[in-house]
Amino acid sequence: MIILGIETSCDETAAAIVEKKDNTISVLSSSIASSEELHKKSGGIIPEVAARKQVESIIPVIDDALSVADLKWNSIDAIAVTYGPGLIGSLLVGVETAKTLAYTLDKPIISVNHLHGHLFVNWLGDNKPELPAVGLVVSGGHTDFVKIDKNFEITYLGGTRDDAAGEAFDKSARLLGLSYPGGPAISKLAESYISTVIASEAKQSNEDGHSANRRIAMTKLDLFPRPMIDSNNLDMSFSGLKTSVLNYLKNNNVGVDPRLRGDDKVAYIAANIQEAIIDTLITKSMFAIKEYKPKSFILSGGVSANSRLRIKSKKVLQKMNEDLKFYVPQPQFSTDNAVMVATTAILKNNPIGWKNIYANPSLGIEE
């Protein structure tokens, strides 16, 4: 079975060809165009700009996916497309393109929920996460815990009450004068801060006052609060983080100035922002595992590209239960892509006619 996947829910235009053969799901091609550079100038996504860029990119991206896979249209069994949630203008470009292709080529369509795509990309290759699983989708718009039961049924368990974790990265990064998207920018600075501290400690085995201070700062990294971390549920809140960062900047005369990029102090603040978010996500993941006792834990969504989150959560969660299987996509399949759409379509395998698909910007995670 060979599927063409199309993803246009936000600022990425993506197409991919994925094949299922002998019970293994393989990627034949994955092509992505992003309007990220345009959004860097505005410091965030402007929906109208994103949609216009989708229109420009969609045909070249599909063409590229087919040519890299070295396939002709007659080899494609179905066209999978994200129908929600996302920005309506962006979603429509993918959905209408998929409909047109399905109609003219007489192929079935498989509609895919973007959030399911993030979760089910973990079934790539020979991976078959044992169910029931607990999944965490952590992206620019969502921070949701779900239970995945057999037949891939999804039940919402809890999540953020306000901003998503990715949004918290993006908004805090903006305060530090870092460019959009903020997650990778903060993560890069945080990693440099952490490795500098470790290197300096290793060098000074004869610990002096200075290195001791830095070690303490690194291990604690608790400049910013973790709201709701002790509540006995999966509720989270990230909207206060940007205010805490702003207050810290004001009180410490750091100033909000792009020229501070790369500065030690900014790297230290970035490491603290990252830690506040990661700590919250991991503490809540531990609660979910205690409460629901899943066989697998699935970390997914753009923020799951964060290397400290990947490493720390695997370590902490498997320490709680060494039989727990931990899954996270390769970083290029954590952020938006079309491989996740085609893979989900293979698992769902419910083709429909081109007349029966509509873009739904507010599609829920259980739908």
When asked if residue 10 is in the footprint of ligand KG4 (CB under 6 A), the reply is yes
Rounded to whole angstroms, the Cα distance separating 335 from 118 reads: 8
- Span of 67-75, 119-127, 153-161, 300-308 interacting with ligand KG4 by CB under 6 A: 300-308
Q: x/- binding map, residues 125-164, to Zn ion, per CB under 5 A?
A: --------------x-------------------------
When asked if residue 94 is in the footprint of ligand KG4 (CB under 6 A), the reply is no
Partner whose footprint covers residue 145, from Zn ion, ligand KG4, none (CB < 5 to 8 Å by kind): none
Which residue among 141, 227, 294, 329 contacts ligand KG4 (CB under 6 A)? 141
When asked if residue 139 is in the footprint of ligand KG4 (CB under 6 A), the reply is yes
Nearest distance in Å: CB 105, ligand KG4: 28
Which residue among 5, 129, 158, 184 contacts ligand KG4 (CB under 6 A)? 184
Partner whose footprint covers residue 303, from Zn ion, ligand KG4, none (CB < 5 to 8 Å by kind): ligand KG4
Rounded to whole angstroms, the Cα distance separating 170 from 245 reads: 12
When asked if residue 84 is in the footprint of ligand KG4 (CB under 6 A), the reply is no
Which residue among 175, 303, 338, 339 contacts ligand KG4 (CB under 6 A)? 303
Which residue among 169, 224, 287, 327 contacts ligand KG4 (CB under 6 A)? 169
When asked if residue 159 is in the footprint of ligand KG4 (CB under 6 A), the reply is no
- Span of 102-110, 120-128, 133-141, 286-294 interacting with ligand KG4 by CB under 6 A: 133-141
Nearest distance in Å: CB 336, Zn ion: 4
Q: Toward Zn ion, which CB reaches closer, 12 or 275? A: 12
CB atoms within 10 A of CB 290: 10
22: left (phi over 0), alpha (psi -120 to 50) or beta: left
Q: Which among 141, 153, 120, 152 is positioned nearest to 9, based on CA atoms?
A: 141
Partner whose footprint covers residue 182, from ligand KG4, Zn ion, none (CB < 5 to 8 Å by kind): ligand KG4
Nearest distance in Å: CB 64, ligand KG4: 20
Q: Within 13 Å of residue 210, how many CA atoms lie on the same side as its CB? A: 5
309-348: contacts with ligand KG4 (CB under 6 A): 335-336
Residue 3, beta-bridge partner list: 18, 78
Q: Toward ligand KG4, which CB reaches closer, 139 or 296? A: 139
Nearest distance in Å: CB 85, Zn ion: 9
When asked if residue 337 is in the footprint of Zn ion (CB under 5 A), the reply is no
Nearest distance in Å: CB 86, ligand KG4: 8
Task: Print the SS3 string covering the chain.
Answer: CEEEEEECCCCEEEEEEEEEECCEEEEEEEEEEECHHHHHHHCCCCHHHHHHHHHHHHHHHHHHHHHHHCCCHHHCCEEEEEEECCCHHHHHHHHHHHHHHHHHHCCCEEEEEHHHHHHHHHHCECCCCCCCEEEEEECCCCEEEEEEEHHHEEEEEEEECCCCHHHHHHHHHHHCCCCCCHHHHHHHHHHHHHHHHHHHHHHCCCCCHHHHHHHHHHHHCCCCCCCCCCCCCCCECCCCHHHHHHHHHHHCCCCCCHHHCCCHHHHHHHHHHHHHHHHHHHHHHHHHHHHHCCCEEEEECHHHHCHHHHHHHHHHHHHHCCCCEEECCCHHHHCCCCHHHHHHHHHHCCCECHHHCCCCCCCCCCC
- Span of 62-70, 135-143, 254-262, 351-359 interacting with ligand KG4 by CB under 6 A: 135-143
When asked if residue 135 is in the footprint of ligand KG4 (CB under 6 A), the reply is no
Which residues would be at the binding site for Zn ion (CB under 5 A)? 139, 336
Positions that interact with ligand KG4 (CB under 6 A): 10, 139-141, 166, 169-170, 181-184, 187, 301-303, 305-306, 335-336
